[in-house]
Chain A
Amino acid sequence: MKIGAPKESARGEARVALTPESAKQLQKLGHECLVETGAGLAAGFNDDTYREAGVTVVDGADALWRDAEVVIKVREPSDQEAERLRKGQTLIAFFWPAQNEALLEKCKAQGATVIAMDMVPRISRAQKMDALSSMANIAGYRAVIEAGNNFGRFFTGQVTAAGKVPPAKVLVIGAGVAGLAAIGTATSLGAVVRAFDVRPEVSEQIESMGAEFLFLDFEDSQDGAESGGYASPSSPEFREKQLECFREQAADVDIVITTALIPGRPAPKLWLEDMVAAMKPGSVVIDLAAEKGGNCDLTKPDERVVSDNGVVVIGYTDFPSRMATQASLLYATNIRHMLTDLTPEKDGVIHHNMEDDVIRGATVTHQGEVTFPPPPPKVKAIAAAKPKKKEKEPTPEEKKAAELATFKAQTKRQVTMLAVGGALMLLLGQVAPASFMQHFIVFVLACFIGFQVIWKVSHSLHTPLMAVTNAISGIIILGAILQIGSGSAVVSVLAAISVLIASINIVGGFLVTRRMLAMFQKS
């Protein structure tokens, strides 16, 4: 099949869907690769490097759309591009089918198959083609870099001869892929990072990246696993609590990076005007949700706004494109993995298997029909979270009460045991002869001493303890000695055998204990 990557037509888009590297891999699958002249220029790949990789460079978009059987792109097609689609052609790109219904209809009418990279289901097997994650990763990284560019101080704290520099304090809101990437980048630059997310189960991930999780004590926390790992809208009460928490942070933090998005909805407003007003002059807000309206009240898409009190609010929507080389390399790899799944025989023939969860999920039009939205995937994205144990710090009074309760319970148990034991002894005393009771006293006391002594034995000496108690239990030999002088031959023989085996036990047990103990040495 001929796979072609046109030059992106959207303004400011620097990425490209095919890199020389991915082209080589695609050729191994038996495909032929085409690229429009100058398509990779903005991403740092000129036509010659493509040619070296065996890619045919085609002049003009028309020629490419005509020649290619599979068109791979970054952005969704423009109207003009959609018109170039024809029956039997396949388009692979970010498509956002929920937001672009008219475009979807158009592509259907043209008879083309469209695979939307943004619809790849979030299951383990599909991670290698999860372009949203790879782009979000870049956006998170770039957000920190942009923030640093606009922030007048170091990220890391330093004590220099010229004075002390405090570390920058960064707040990351939303710990998705972009948020986590931002946390990682900011911590490695040396900043003090805090992060918030509505899904409490991500606290572990946040902490693993080196940030502090801002914990919101709220009953009705949501479980992100049900919505495929994405956040869903929260209740008004929860939102109030959340904003309160942010308001507290606003005066303290230097850089805020917001990444909160809810699939298929406008971005929630989380960083309100009064919070921006509370921030120190020179602070920076980076809004990664600008495209969907922004998390910050002041955000204007694609613009850098400076507030009245000197806070910079950045609402760029093209963070991945600002790192076009890296973004293209990752995106092209995601596309290549998608094509690998589409070419199971590695023979250059696309087999569009609608039974496959991943392919089915990503396909939005196929054979003249709209196949969006897809049925739920057969494999659940993420295992259901286990109910989290909530441990509340007990107050001193509660602690005291608990201690008192255990003390009482223990006293009660001990008294009961003593009472029962005493009663049993009394009963026994009624029937047993006096001589027996005398021995019994000795027995009970010996048990007590045993219990007291053995608890103190060190764990590492348990084996020697067993060996030595084993040797000592050879004391049974006394019983045999007492009987051996009997007038009865049977008794004598039995006693003699007992003496023999008990002696083995005693000598063997002690010697082996000694051997063991001699080995223990200090370093």
Chain B
Amino acid sequence: MLGQGFVSAAAIAASVLFILSLGGLSNQEKAKRAVWYGIVGMAVAVFFTSFGPGIGGYWWLIPMMLIGAGIGAYVAGKVEMTEMPQLVAALHSFVGLAAVFVAWSADLERRRVMAARAAEASLDQFSAFAALVATKAPDELMFLQIEVVLGIFIGAVTFTGSVIAFGKLAGKVDGKPRQLPGGHMLNAGAAVLSLLLAILYLNGAGFWTLILLAALAFFIGYHLIMGIGGADMPVVVSMLNSYSGWAAAAIGFTLSNDLLIVTGALVGSSGAILSYIMCKAMNRNFINVILGGFGGSTGPAAEIEGEQVAIDAAGVASALNDADSVIIVPGYGMAVAQAQGAVSDLVRKLRAAGKTVRFGIHPVAGRLPGHMNVLLAEAKVPYDIVLEMDEINDDFPTTDVVIVIGSNDIVNPAAEEDPNSPIAGMPVLKVWEAKQVFVSKRGQGTGYSGIENPLFFKDNTRMFYGDARDSLTTLLPLVD
């Protein structure tokens, strides 16, 4: 058994390592080291806590850890990079559920201690967490209860929310916003009811209040995320990321464990900032995204004149052969069609021919912040030609050819030109300023937001219909 001093020192070390780990993500090269900081930090934290004072139940602990590690390793090795969003969402749900369980357990232990106190039995019989609870004063126990309520509530919302987000991202649940009749009133009602239950619980009601509270929070998580459309998933996933952090922090308070508090706060603020960045990239209010649906439209959208002109692979190829500078704008469609490999081949060929090829990535392209970067990295596209929106947006007028692969709203000129458009004011990639734009798209349908895209009707736009991967594969031999 290690002493409390060891455990505290380990907690400090782990906190520092976690901070370094997150800070190291400021660039690609440092990031490779940063992930090791995280791994070592976690190993230190788990090891020293496991063998710290007052810990038992190794017969349970070690096998469970090994099984969990095995499953985790298997899943991480098997997952496709295009499935990254759903994996992250699924993993969030675990944290949420664990938080609920831990909070329940904390209350059960409290009850046992209270019962023993009431019976004036000896408090020495308690082991593990219960022993800690036994030392607490009544006002501390009151706060412990508040923390339990918070832990359960946030954890439960995270759990069902993540499960639904996973379902939507994996295509197992319909991506369209869908709500039960009553809409947000149901959520508000459930929240009020939860508050009532929490007050009852704080005034000494039984364990059933906590179970009911969890059930209500489960419902809120489910219903809240069901009401959010697929295009807003980057915000949802980072928001759930944030929640899972706050849940961990709440549990940290319950268990009086600073390491849990620090880590939870780090994760919570990280997710909050990511959500903020995503919302800003869509020019939307966080509340607006969470309550679902596009709002704020003030009038009919401007009508679009003209027609979409299709082009075949040979036409695209000849334009590419003539071009000196090319910018590729990928979107979710590229991920769906698994076209990143074909894109990478095309880029290699064009670069070999001495052309300037770059990528323009919108902050909300894909279903996860930074999704496109990961896919392109997987396809071995060098990261120094993959640029952010702000870095590349001024270069479009001097670009010969822009290829838009499976993105729609993020290149929609209506955001700038039509004040009545639901996405008015959202920063977009100004691809239409280039000399020629090719849009690789499955068909004539609208994007996730269901908004018509005037880009497709512009004079310098040609539609390259078909599955992105098939289109690019037919295009490839024609480019020299």
Give complex CA distance A456, B238 in Å.
Answer: 17
Give complex CA distance A444, B370 in Å.
Answer: 28
Give complex CA distance A481, B260 in Å.
Answer: 12
Determine the chain A residues whose CB is within 8 A of the CB of B65 once the complex forms.
477, 499-500, 503
Those of A454-503 within 8 Å (CB) of chain B: 454-488, 490-492, 494-503
Verify A466–B241 contact, CB threshold 8 A: yes
Verify A473–B267 contact, CB threshold 8 A: yes
Q: Summarize B's interface: helix, strand, loop or mixed.
A: helix
Judge whether A159 is part of the interface by a CB distance below 8 angstroms. Answer: no
Question: Nearest Cβ in chain A — how far from B48, in angstroms?
Answer: 10
Kindly specify which of B53-61, B175-183, B316-324, B443-451 makes contact with the partner chain. B53-61
Verify A479–B251 contact, CB threshold 8 A: yes
Q: Which single member of B21, B94, B126, B256 contacts A468 (CB below 8 Å)?
A: B21
Verify A443–B253 contact, CB threshold 8 A: yes
Give complex CA distance A447, B263 in Å.
Answer: 9
Verify B79–A512 contact, CB threshold 8 A: yes
Verify A455–B273 contact, CB threshold 8 A: yes
Query: Chain B 73-101, CB within 8 Å of chain A: the 1/0 string?
Result: 10111010100100110011011011101
Judge whether B415 is part of the interface by a CB distance below 8 angstroms. Answer: no
Verify A439–B253 contact, CB threshold 8 A: yes
Q: Take A433-B143, A503-B68, A504-B72 as given contacts and tell me if A475 and B264 are in contact as well, using a CB distance cutoff of 8 Å.
A: yes
Kindly specify which of A43-51, A406-414, A515-523 makes contact with the partner chain. A515-523
Query: Chain B 250-265, CB within 8 Å of chain A: the 1/0 string?
Result: 0111111111111111
Judge whether A106 is part of the interface by a CB distance below 8 angstroms. Answer: no
Question: Nearest Cβ in chain A — how far from B131, in angstroms?
Answer: 9
Give complex CA distance A449, B81 in Å.
Answer: 30
Q: Take A480-B101, A491-B108 as given contacts and tell me if A465 and B76 are in contact as well, using a CB distance cutoff of 8 Å.
A: no
Q: Which single member of B61, B109, B132, B273 contacts A454 (CB below 8 Å)?
A: B273
Question: Nearest Cβ in chain B — how far from A180, in angstroms?
Answer: 16
Verify B128–A483 contact, CB threshold 8 A: yes
* A interface, size bucket: 35 or more
* B interface, size bucket: 35 or more
Determine the chain A residues whose CB is within 8 A of the CB of B383 once the complex forms.
460, 520-522
Q: Which single member of B31, B88, B94, B253 contacts A461 (CB below 8 Å)?
A: B31
Q: Take A442-B261, A483-B102 as given contacts and tell me if A508 and B87 are in contact as well, using a CB distance cutoff of 8 Å.
A: yes
Judge whether A124 is part of the interface by a CB distance below 8 angstroms. Answer: yes
Verify A446–B261 contact, CB threshold 8 A: yes
Closest residue on chain B to residue A507 by CB atoms: B72
Judge whether A514 is part of the interface by a CB distance below 8 angstroms. Answer: yes
Determine the chain A residues whose CB is within 8 A of the CB of B102 once the complex forms.
476, 479-480, 483, 494-495, 498
Give complex CA distance A497, B64 in Å.
Answer: 8
Judge whether A513 is part of the interface by a CB distance below 8 angstroms. Answer: yes
Verify A514–B91 contact, CB threshold 8 A: no
Verify A460–B35 contact, CB threshold 8 A: no
Q: Take A447-B265, A463-B371, A464-B31 as given contacts and tell me if A476 and B305 are in contact as well, using a CB distance cutoff of 8 Å.
A: no
Judge whether B291 is part of the interface by a CB distance below 8 angstroms. Answer: no
Verify B22–A469 contact, CB threshold 8 A: yes
Verify B98–A502 contact, CB threshold 8 A: yes
Verify A503–B42 contact, CB threshold 8 A: no
Verify B95–A505 contact, CB threshold 8 A: yes
Verify B369–A463 contact, CB threshold 8 A: yes
Q: Take A469-B241, A519-B378 as given contacts and tell me if A484 and B253 are in contact as well, using a CB distance cutoff of 8 Å.
A: no
A-B contact pairs, 7 of them (CB 8 A): A443-B253, A460-B373, A471-B42, A480-B101, A481-B49, A483-B105, A498-B102
Q: For the A-B complex with A503-B72, A505-B68, A508-B71 known, give 16 more contacts whose Cβ atoms are closer than 8 Å.
A: A443-B249, A454-B22, A464-B25, A465-B369, A469-B22, A474-B94, A475-B42, A477-B65, A478-B259, A485-B54, A485-B55, A500-B68, A502-B68, A503-B67, A519-B374, A522-B383
